[in-house]
Amino acid sequence: MEPSQTNNEEEEQLITPWEVDAKDGGKIDYDKLIDRFGCQRIDQSLVQRVERLTSQPAHVFLRRNVFFAHRDFAEILDAYEKGDKFYLYTGRGPSSEALHLGHLIPFMYLQDAFKVPLVIQLTDDEKFLWKNLTIEECQRLARENAKDIIACGFDISKTFIFNDFDYVGGAFYRNMVQVGKRVTYNQAVGIFGFTGEDHIGKVSFPPVQAVPSFPSSFPHLFKGKENLRCLIPCAIDQLKDEIKILAATEGLSRRSNEKYGETGKMSASDPNSAIYVTDSAKDIKNKINRYAFSGGQDSVEKHRQLGANLEVDIPIKYLSFFLEDDAELEHIKKEYGAGRMLTGEVKQRLVQVLTEVVDRHRTARANVTEEMVDAFMAVRPLPHMFD
């Protein structure tokens, strides 16, 4: 793989994860690298210690200094000597069907000599992200490489081989990677306003929220229905990113469809700006009476004369959300707007409506068991979902 750009701080020796090369074809100065990375040389006494601990000759790569440096390997040996085991990790990007020689030889020795487990990561996702290949092709190459690895003679009782597209998160993760490949960092900055000091966890998150729009993210629900449309009711504040992220992924799947609600600027972070399902009747009464902005007039006389300004009246807004009865709502708006109904009366009706809603919810929630949560969250088919 090619590095994304030449790194400024590496003037003399280009070292990215994807390339090691001295400038002008010169020789890499390994001593310099060892110093810079805070490593130690692997010397003869360390090799002899390995032989003593494993009761067998060291691998030629150790004996002949092909393995030439380490970090904290002595600490691992100290612990091993006291009976603490460790495990081995290696990985491969499955770029071609043919494994080249030499890559895996030392692992079998280490596994065998120290009697420790080995995990082998096949980064088919990396390959997909950097190369122009399909996910399926990358998965197939990973499997072909697994065969070469197995053919080396690894001990199945000590070896776990996995490819990211299947082990990390299945269909959902594959779609995350598909979306991630279609959105540049600059686009993400334009949408989310990330800065360079934001951590990459944030930068990685938008695909997580985008992929539920694709039916294939839920194979237990929608296998064979990959063209199903998705309707996303959402608030206007979720709109901009949804559109841009989905626009960037166009062609990946039939575009998802959205419509938008605006639910009255209730925020979960300001306790007085919203009615919670945990609020008591007293809380609700207090919040509505003290905090719900009224469009009524300052004095009863003025109110009787001018009526309420319904446009800015929060109790009316809430009633329009929660009072089901159209006729009653119209009646209240008419009477209140004409000044025949007072703010206190409207608020009283709202408190009543909200208290009912919250009471109903509280009772229902008390009846929700852990088993019901497990049942709703079980990864399962829904055979009657369209009935």
Where in 261-280 is the site for its own copies (CB under 8 A)?
261-269, 274-279
Complex with its own copies: residue 175 or 343, whichever CB lies closer: 175
Q: Does 351 bind its own copies (CB under 8 A)?
A: no
Q: Does 82 bind its own copies (CB under 8 A)?
A: no
How far, in Å, CA of 156 to CA of 10, rounded? 41
Q: Does 160 bind its own copies (CB under 8 A)?
A: yes
For residue 378, the one-letter residue type is A
How far, in Å, CA of 346 to CA of 320, rounded? 12
Q: Does 289 bind its own copies (CB under 8 A)?
A: no
Q: Does 252 bind its own copies (CB under 8 A)?
A: no
Q: Does 146 bind its own copies (CB under 8 A)?
A: yes
Q: Does 86 bind its own copies (CB under 8 A)?
A: yes
C-alpha distances (whole Å) from 294 to each of 132, 336, 337, 357 are 60, 11, 12, 22
Contacts with its own copies in 169-188 (CB under 8 A)? 169-170, 172-173, 176-177, 179-186, 188
How far, in Å, CA of 50 to CA of 45, rounded? 9
Complex with its own copies: residue 273 or 305, whichever CB lies closer: 273
Q: Does 97 bind its own copies (CB under 8 A)?
A: yes
Q: Does 135 bind its own copies (CB under 8 A)?
A: no
> Could you tell me the end-to-end alpha-carbon distance of the chain, in angstroms, rounded to an integer?
50
257 bridge partner residues: 231
Q: How far is the CB of 275 from its own copies (least distance, A)?
A: 5
Q: Does 219 bind its own copies (CB under 8 A)?
A: no
Cβ-defined contacts of 287-293 (< 8 Å, 24+) = 288/315, 288/318, 288/347, 288/350, 288/351, 288/354, 289/347, 289/351, 292/318, 292/347, 292/350
Q: Does 281 bind its own copies (CB under 8 A)?
A: no
Q: Does 124 bind its own copies (CB under 8 A)?
A: no
Q: Which of 108, 133, 208, 281 binds its own copies (CB under 8 A)?
A: 208
Please report the sign of the dihedral spanned by the C-alpha atoms of residue 382, residue 383, residue 386, residue 387.
negative
Q: Does 108 bind its own copies (CB under 8 A)?
A: no
Q: Which of 51, 258, 335, 345 binds its own copies (CB under 8 A)?
A: 258
State the binding string over 326-345 for its own copies (x if CB under 8 A, else -): x-------------------
State the Cα angle at 156 between 153 and 161, rounded to 5°. 90
